[in-house]
Amino acid sequence: MRIHRIMSDIITKKLHSGKAIVLIGARQVGKTTLLNDCLQGYENVLWMNGDNLETRTLMANITVERYRSMLGKNNVVVIDEAQRIEDIGLKSKLLTDNFPEVQLVITGSSSLDIANKVNEPLTGRKWEYRLFPLSYGELAAHFGAMQEWQKLPVRLVYGCYPDVVCNPGSEREVLNNLTESYLYKDVLVWERIKRPDKVVRLLQALAYQVGSEVSTNELSQMVELDRSTVEKYINLLEQSQVVFRLGAFSRNLRTEIKSGRKIYFYDNGVRNTLIGNLSPIDMRADVGALWENFMVGELLKKNHYELTYAKSYFWRTTQQQEVDYIEECDGKMKAYEFKWNPAKKAKVSKTFVNAYPGVEVQTITRENYMDFL
């Protein structure tokens, strides 16, 4: 089963535009499959993989002359998992500066490593994009909106990783393999993490707090680590495309929380696997949290793929008045409440409405979510 990815259209248009293309995304989100689609019409493509020792050895002491002999007639070079190659930024710059006719494409599963290694050397020389698990838009285009609406309870539990979606009936097995492989390969084996068991406990604690404001003090007590280590681990988990954060929106009121944050998972299936709960929706007490995590993630994907550059926040006051999700783009604000049950009306904060007149707070439920995505 091949599901068309929105990002493939964006990348195809950027090929041979004079800059390197950097594609970041967690393992198994479909980066290599996407690039195969983008490069179908190209015959002369050199593929390398940073996970392979042979590739790392070949690139160890790369020179212009060695590049020339490696390239031959190839006018596209793809380096998968490029963060594994030492000094990949400088080596990429050497290629792009000396072979302007060659399109360089770099992929990485760790945005922290890629950013550290390519940002400065490739300043002004790259297009950078991110790939996520399958989005609602991609799934609806492939399966149809009605079928995707019927599959919503499945998506909330098992998530939207391509391998999960393409193996109905084997979701539990695929998710366990996926979570074990990419979490342990890209996160828990990093030298900077000295206590991997604590990271698992931290992930589980974050999974139980989806949709709630996160306190570093509370987390440090729960997992028995100091605050600075908890903060470092959260940063690493975010850079590894496991979780992402929303900051607090504040502008007009002294009572607005200014430094709070919520943490969400990029994929519901990974979140549920971490806590060992893949029960159906109608048997769960956390459906509200799953719905919020799903919708915040889908809006993030939509904004990224549409290149809106919207900023995302939540809003809360010290009196616990709250708006689930706020977007700000080009000076315009949108505000949303997420309710799984369409019959349950959202209580819109009058404090927010008065502080930000003209900003309508819309409620997204399972009956109307397709209108927003």
Instruction: Report d(CA 228, CA 211) in Å as an integer.
Output: 23
Does some domain include residue 252? yes
Q: Where are the alpha helices (DSSP H) in the chain?
A: 6-14, 31-38, 53-58, 64-71, 88-98, 111-118, 136-143, 145-150, 152-158, 162-165, 171-186, 196-208, 216-223, 227-239, 268-274, 287-305, 350-355, 369-372
Say whether both 116 and 178 belong to one domain: no
Higher pLDDT, 186 or 267: 267
What pLDDT, on the 0 to 100 scale, is given for residue 272?
96
Calculate what percentage of the chain has a pLDDT beyond 70.
Answer: 94
Average pLDDT over residues 50-58: 90
Is 138 inside a domain boundary?
A: no
Q: Cβ(125)–Cβ(350) under 8 Å?
A: no
Q: Is residue 135 part of a domain?
A: no
Question: Is residue 145 one of the residues assigned to a domain?
Answer: no
Q: What is the pLDDT of residues 338-359, one digit of tens each?
A: 999 998 877 888 899 998 999 9
Q: What is the pLDDT of residues 227-281, one digit of tens each?
A: 998 898 888 888 888 899 999 998 877 877 888 899 999 999 999 999 999 999 9
What integer pLDDT is reported at residue 347 of this predicted model? Answer: 82
Q: Which of 38-47, 60-69, 109-118 has the lowest average pLDDT?
A: 109-118
pLDDT at res. 192: 62
Q: What is the pLDDT of residue 240?
A: 81
Q: Which residue has the tokens 């919020």?
A: 292
Tell whether the model's pLDDT for residue 22 goes beyond 60.
yes
Do 245 and 346 have their domain in common?
A: yes
Residue 218 belongs to some domain of the structure: yes
Tally of domains in the chain: 2
CA separation (Å) from 257 to 226, 248, 323?
24, 6, 12
Same domain, 160 and 122: no
Q: How far apart are CA 313 and CA 302, in angstroms?
A: 15
Task: Tell whether 151 is covered by a domain.
Answer: no
- Whether 37 and 102 map to the same domain: the answer is yes
Q: Do 322 and 348 form a contact (C-beta atoms < 8 A)? A: no
Please check whether residues 248 and 126 belong to one and the same domain. no
Mean pLDDT rounded to a whole number for the chain: 90
Which helix (H) or strand (E) segment holds residue 29: the answer is none
| Per-residue model confidence as pLDDT tens digits over 207-219 | 999 988 888 889 8
The confidence score (pLDDT) of residue 346 equals: 76
Over residues 171-178, mean pLDDT? 94
User: Is residue 101 in some structural domain?
Assistant: yes
275 and 321 co-located in one domain: yes
Whether the predicted pLDDT of 191 surpasses 60: no
User: Is there a domain that residue 100 lies in?
Assistant: yes
Whether 202 and 247 share a structural domain: yes
| Domain carrying residue 291 | 156-372
State whether 108 and 236 are in the same domain. no
With 60 as the cut, is the pLDDT of residue 17 above it?
A: yes
Q: Which of 50-64, 213-227, 299-313 has the highest mean pLDDT?
A: 299-313
pLDDT confidence bin for 186, thresholds 50/70/90: low
234 lies in the same domain as 353: yes
**CATH number of the domain bearing residue 312:** 1.10.10.10
Least confident of 37-41, 88-92, 113-117, 217-221: 113-117
Q: Which amino acid is at 175?
A: L
Mean pLDDT of 54-80: 92
Distance between CA atoms of residues 161 and 271, nearest Å: 12
**Residue % of the chain over a pLDDT of 90:** 62
CATH number of the domain within which 28 lies? 3.40.50.300
Is pLDDT above 90 for 370? yes
